[in-house]
Structure 1
Amino acid sequence: RSPRTAAAPTPRCCRRRSAASGAPRCSAPPSRASPAVLGPPTLTPPRCPPQWDLVCASRWKVPLEQTTQLLGWTLGSVTAGLACDRFGRRPTFLLALALAVPVGLGVALATDFLMVLVARLLFGAALAGAFLALYVARLELCEPPHRLGVTMVAGFFWIAGELLLPGLALLCRDWRVLQGAVTMILALLAACWCPALLLESPRWLLATRQPERARKTLQALAEDDCPQDTGSMLGSLLPAELEALSEEPPRPRYHSVCEICSSRVIWKNGVILGFAAFIGSGIRHCFTRNLVPHLPHFFSSHLALVGTEAAACLFVCLTAERFGRRAILLLCTVLTGISSLLLLALTQCKTPTDPRDAAPGRGEEREVQDLSPDVLRPLADLLELIVLTLSVVGTAASHAVTMLSIFFASEVLPTVVRGAGLGLVLGANFVGKAAAPITAIPNSRGFFLHHVVFASFAILAVLSIMLLPESQGRSLPQSLQDGESQRRPPLFRRPPREDHLPLLAPHAIPHGYSGLASSTKRMLRSPDPPREM
């Protein structure tokens, strides 16, 4: 919830609502401004925290605060992605979580609206960094058959948190107490859980030529998995590649986001998936706006939106592993575009229930007057039902497009630049989400243009998704060369699966880390040149 005015008397023109339930509305313009609201702030008791007005003339502050927080998530995603590729997944996650605690306390103890904006910006950036680092580290520890399932289970935990948040807000009854409770949960998480359980990604360590750190991480994983058979397991897994990489200890090699721009296939995949994530989050407001008349209360609308998100997550979990990432992303994008175009047409030709409400022109007035209200009312109800159905389907499909685009990008981007590339895709997602608070600004007249533009973008995204490769059942690309070697298969013909791949691939499998240094050395020592297939 957002801060509300408590010290000043409420003007009669205003119906006070929290920022979470929507922008407040004024029933009539005030005849005389209240000096307690528009004048200098009045003295409050020492025990009462400073509060300010968010209604009537100041209601523009609500979408401004929401947009600022989304801007923080965008900047945090990009910055944390760069840090993940340079310093590692684990340090980035712990640093972001440690920064979120004091910044969250700063939000709860803010003394004016400007301080709230700055603290919300930094708090969103810290949370985005923790989310991105944990997302990448979790993905890189999973085998190909389990990547989607583990990611969707984490998505269900996110949805469960969204469901519990209104109940926690009711218990706290004040936005400062709610912010403090969330911050204390983050502090407990950072102090007790994360340092012991979250290890650095061995896949990233090997891809950046850090075999000694990878050896220690793999040894810790093996000891936690099978403490009794640690010696035999390390004897069979570690020496094969780590000894080859350690013959001539190389310096760690890091890659920057500029190398993505100089590539061809990696850049194309990142741009398409970032564009799809932007469309999925930006077009959602076009659907949720039609649900507002049917869900006037905040809790009912919140539960409905979270329910559509859960349905989309379940749909992706059940279908993307069976039919492929690209096919399901294409299907969800088509559903989103068709629903948006139909809503754009239906909302412009609503049937009036009273013949006198019809606009005259070209003989339409006589045709409408010939119809009785008993005929017009069922037509209007049917049209309203169709609009409601398309809105629900479009909302669920847009959720599926967003989450599948982010997951798809994490699979096709190479390990050496996965953090930076995924940070850009997540940043595009949050930029699209900013469309909702921007169109909620008072006296905003651009909703129709916003709907037309995003519907056109959805059709364009359908055509561009056909250019993506298929990552289902495939190993994660490690180097830039692996990312550039990905090819687009036919739509209904998937590449062979590579299930249950070991973390350290044997010499016969050409999917190792950093190009499998030992295999490369043997090939260079061979007198016969490689044959062309």
Structure 2
Amino acid sequence: MSLIIGPNLLYSVFYLCPHKANLNLLFRMKFENILEEIDGFGPFQIVILVLLCTPRIVLPCHFLLNNFIAAVPPHHCDVSTLDDGGLFSNLTYQQRLTVSVPLREDGDPQSCEMFAEPQFQLLSNSSDSSTERPTLQCPSGWVYDNSTFTSTLATEWDLVCGRKSLTKTTGTIFFFGVMMGAIAFGFLCDKYGRKNTLLASYIMAIVFGFSSAFANSYVLFAVLRFLTGFGLTGISINSIVLSIEWVDTGHRSFIGVIGSLAWSVGNMLLAGFAFLVNDWRTLIMTVTAPLLLAVLTWRWIPESARWLLANGKVERAQFYLDKCAKFNKRQKLSDKLKLETLSNIEMLEKQDRNYTYLDLIKTPRMRQLTLLTGIVWYGVASTYYGISLNISGFGLNMYLTHFIYAAIEVPAKLMIYCFLNIIGRRKCQAGTLLLTGICIAINIFIPKGQWHVRAVVAILGKGLSEASFTTIFLYTTELYPTVVRQNGLGYTSFMSRLGVSVAPLILLLEDVWIPLPQIIICSVATVSGLVALLLPETQNVRLPETIDDIEKPRKKDTSSNSVETSGVFPESKTTTDPQQQ
């Protein structure tokens, strides 16, 4: 049975009827009841969303930066130093190239080999087979085509041929940093608050982001990229949680989806930045610079009142709640409720203890939730980045492919917003993953000559994979209780970054068998989509506050003025008349 809660009831229950059952009723009140009094979706929430847009725009610029800074331009062995007793002195550079470097099947020079001895007969007989001549590895380095990039990691440190895997490895190292940051910030956010750790994330990302642009060795660059990823994780998990924890139940999906459009904007901007800035060092500084603006606007971002109440910081919580009420032109909460009332609403959940990652596996339902969400997050991230990091092979240049991949995310997000409120979170999560797997499977069998068809299917799959990513952020925030929400997001973010870290290495398997990476990504998407069907539905369900809310079945929020009952409450309605309490 639902219990109708009004502002007058809160005061009367606590002060007029200190009966144990009434106090239990007060303890069971959820944060949404407080939020409804001050408007759970007003100008205050919109401002939070806007303030967090800048750092969200930076995230995809760094997460997908490897597509451009680690690009390998066309290259061949350097033959400019060859001088076989003056025989090369009368030859043009192109003629030197002809007699020194064998050709591939497409007519371009080989990238990693040259003839052991000059083949001067090729100048007069171009049809002579050059593939059977003895060859050796490039002794004098390589010459790179700088028409697209003036400088990349590959050209800076010759990460080609036998060292070409190191370009992909930089992406893996970055995401290992993100993975470690997810664990660290998941703990720190729940212990020290969302706002303080957000500032720490800004500073770390700025310092290590700019420092990596001045790295003078590959090893130093890899270390600094690891630390940059570590810092950026705090922005990723804090921005979504701060947005969701300040809005009411009915607008969570709107805030989650619309807020994530900043990612798509940043993704599209990355294609433009990379097109205009062809030097990898300058490009890193360009995509890091917006965080300076984020630091300047940080002071206006409010701390999560949910977290403050759950940790007994009642006066600070009241300050932000009153600020929200004033901004939304509602009556201040302090005029209706005393500090003691606010304290008793959430202090039972705190119970003078600190929650850790162990709380995610101590109880049966939490353990099941932790296992399932970890699998789904791994699948979502591995699929999304497996597609996003493969932006070649469809007959389009890489800038245009990246831009289209990013642009398709916008209609995908708007579409998923509609479906989230129609068919629910669980079906959206499972459906988008399964459809992504189907798109990848179809592309495996489409001939490479039909690049336009492959491009359309790949872009559709990219949109669906982004829809699944948008859903999982909102879905996970609704699944985990407030007291361990950041720990839960830290753990799931760790699992997702594990999937992302492996994605670049999976793409290297095309050297073993070309379809193998696609088969692996397709399988991961399908399995994680099926696992998502085992998760509970959270549509129109209030955010859980304690672990007990997970262990006990929750009811749908059918009224904006109702709270769920549990076994401790009698099955009777409670009116707002104090005389009937």
Instruction: Report 1:469-508 matches (<5 A).
Output: 469-486=536-553, 496-498=556-558, 500=560
Residue in structure 1 matched with residue 186 of structure 2 by the alignment: 81
Q: Partners of 2:483 and 2:386 in 1: how far apart? A: 37
Match of 1:201 among 298, 301, 304: 304
Instruction: Report 1:414-453 matches (<5 A).
Output: 414-441=481-508, 444-445=511-512, 448-453=515-520
Q: CA deviation at 1:224?
A: 3.5
- Contact 1:325/1:470 (8 A) holds in 2: yes
The secondary structure found in structure 1 opposite 2:216 is coil
Q: CA deviation at 1:215?
A: 2.2
Q: Partners of 1:5 and 1:332 in 2: how far apart? A: 32
Q: Which moved more, 1:460-469 or 1:55-64?
A: 460-469
Q: RMSD value over aligned CA atoms?
A: 3.8
- Contact 1:4/1:52 (8 A) holds in 2: no
- Contact 2:480/2:488 (8 A) holds in 1: yes
Q: CA deviation at 1:33?
A: 5.8
1:411-441 deviation line (CA, Å, top 9, x unaligned): 1100111111112222222222234421343
The secondary structure found in structure 1 opposite 2:408 is helix
1:118-164 deviation line (CA, Å, top 9, x unaligned): 00000011011112112111110011111111121221111111111
Residue in structure 2 matched with residue 468 of structure 1 by the alignment: 535
Residue in structure 2 matched with residue 410 of structure 1 by the alignment: 477
Q: Partners of 2:415 and 2:565 in 1: how far apart? A: 31
The verdict on how the C-alpha distance between 1:54 and 1:268 changes in structure 2, with shifts beyond 3 A counting, is same
Residue in structure 2 matched with residue 294 of structure 1 by the alignment: 394
Match of 1:336 among 414, 436, 440: 436
What runs of 5+ residues in structure 2 fail to find an aligned partner?
Answer: 1-67, 80-96, 98-107, 116-135, 143-152, 571-581
Q: Partners of 2:553 and 2:232 in 1: how far apart? A: 32
Residue in structure 2 matched with residue 271 of structure 1 by the alignment: 371
Residue in structure 2 matched with residue 377 of structure 1 by the alignment: none
Q: CA deviation at 1:199?
A: 1.5
Q: Partners of 1:316 and 1:457 in 2: how far apart? A: 21
Match of 1:310 among 407, 410, 421: 410
Q: Partners of 2:388 and 2:70 in 1: how far apart? A: 24
Instruction: Report 1:150-165 matches (<5 A).
Output: 150-165=255-270
The verdict on how the C-alpha distance between 1:277 and 1:244 changes in structure 2, with shifts beyond 3 A counting, is closer
Residue in structure 2 matched with residue 253 of structure 1 by the alignment: 353
Residue in structure 2 matched with residue 29 of structure 1 by the alignment: 113
- Contact 2:479/2:544 (8 A) holds in 1: yes
Q: CA deviation at 1:114?
A: 0.7
The verdict on how the C-alpha distance between 1:497 and 1:251 changes in structure 2, with shifts beyond 3 A counting, is closer
1:260-289 deviation line (CA, Å, top 9, x unaligned): 111222232232223122223323577679
What runs of 5+ residues in structure 1 fail to find an aligned partner?
Answer: 14-23, 39-48, 352-379, 488-494, 502-507, 521-533
Matched, 1:217 2:271: no
- Contact 1:277/1:405 (8 A) holds in 2: yes
Residue in structure 2 matched with residue 61 of structure 1 by the alignment: 166
Structure number with higher relative contact order (C-alpha < 8 Å, ≥ 6 residues apart): 2
The secondary structure found in structure 1 opposite 2:266 is helix
Q: CA deviation at 1:176?
A: 1.6
What is the letter of the counterpart of residue 375 of structure 2? F
The secondary structure found in structure 1 opposite 2:69 is coil
1:43-91 deviation line (CA, Å, top 9, x unaligned): xxxxxx9942233333222101111111111111221111111111111
- Contact 1:152/1:313 (8 A) holds in 2: yes
Q: Partners of 1:340 and 1:51 in 2: how far apart? A: 34
- Contact 1:290/1:387 (8 A) holds in 2: no
Q: Partners of 2:349 and 2:507 in 1: how far apart? A: 57
Q: Partners of 1:486 and 1:311 in 2: how far apart? A: 35
Normalised to the residue count of structure 2, the TM-score between the two structures is 0.67
Q: CA deviation at 1:35?
A: 6.0
Q: CA deviation at 1:175?
A: 1.9
Q: Partners of 1:247 and 1:284 in 2: how far apart? A: 40
Match of 2:217 among 112, 115, 118: 112
Matched, 1:181 2:265: no
Q: Partners of 2:346 and 2:384 in 1: how far apart? A: 51
- Contact 1:275/1:461 (8 A) holds in 2: yes
What is the letter of the counterpart of residue 233 of structure 2? A
Q: Which moved more, 1:475-484 or 1:429-438?
A: 429-438
Q: Partners of 2:533 and 2:350 in 1: how far apart? A: 40
The verdict on how the C-alpha distance between 1:457 and 1:237 changes in structure 2, with shifts beyond 3 A counting, is same
- Contact 1:3/1:52 (8 A) holds in 2: no
- Contact 2:172/2:505 (8 A) holds in 1: yes
Q: Partners of 2:305 and 2:167 in 1: how far apart? A: 44
1:464-512 deviation line (CA, Å, top 9, x unaligned): 333221111221100110122246xxxxxxx6444656xxxxxx73489
Q: Considering only CA atoms, is the larger Rg found in Structure 1 or Structure 2?
A: 2
Q: CA deviation at 1:449?
A: 4.6
Q: Partners of 2:392 and 2:242 in 1: how far apart? A: 38
Q: Partners of 1:163 and 1:462 in 2: how far apart? A: 27
- Contact 2:425/2:537 (8 A) holds in 1: yes
Q: CA deviation at 1:290?
A: 8.8
Q: CA deviation at 1:5?
A: 11
Residue in structure 2 matched with residue 143 of structure 1 by the alignment: 248
Q: Partners of 2:271 and 2:530 in 1: how far apart? A: 39
Matched, 1:398 2:502: no
Q: CA deviation at 1:296?
A: 3.6
What is the letter of the counterpart of residue 332 of structure 1? T
What is the letter of the counterpart of residue 400 of structure 1? A
Residue in structure 2 matched with residue 368 of structure 1 by the alignment: none
What is the letter of the counterpart of residue 473 of structure 1? N
- Contact 1:5/1:53 (8 A) holds in 2: no
- Contact 2:179/2:495 (8 A) holds in 1: yes
Q: Partners of 1:261 and 1:246 in 2: how far apart? A: 23
Q: Partners of 2:541 and 2:192 in 1: how far apart? A: 27
Q: Partners of 1:83 and 1:246 in 2: how far apart? A: 20
Matched, 1:52 2:173: no
What is the letter of the counterpart of residue 466 of structure 2? H
Q: CA deviation at 1:9?
A: 10
The verdict on how the C-alpha distance between 1:205 and 1:292 changes in structure 2, with shifts beyond 3 A counting, is same
State, as a whole percentage, how many aligned pairs show the same letter: 23
Q: CA deviation at 1:339?
A: 3.3
Matched, 1:167 2:272: yes
Q: Partners of 1:248 and 1:78 in 2: how far apart? A: 27
What is the letter of the counterpart of residue 153 of structure 1? I
Q: Which moved more, 1:257-266 or 1:112-121?
A: 257-266
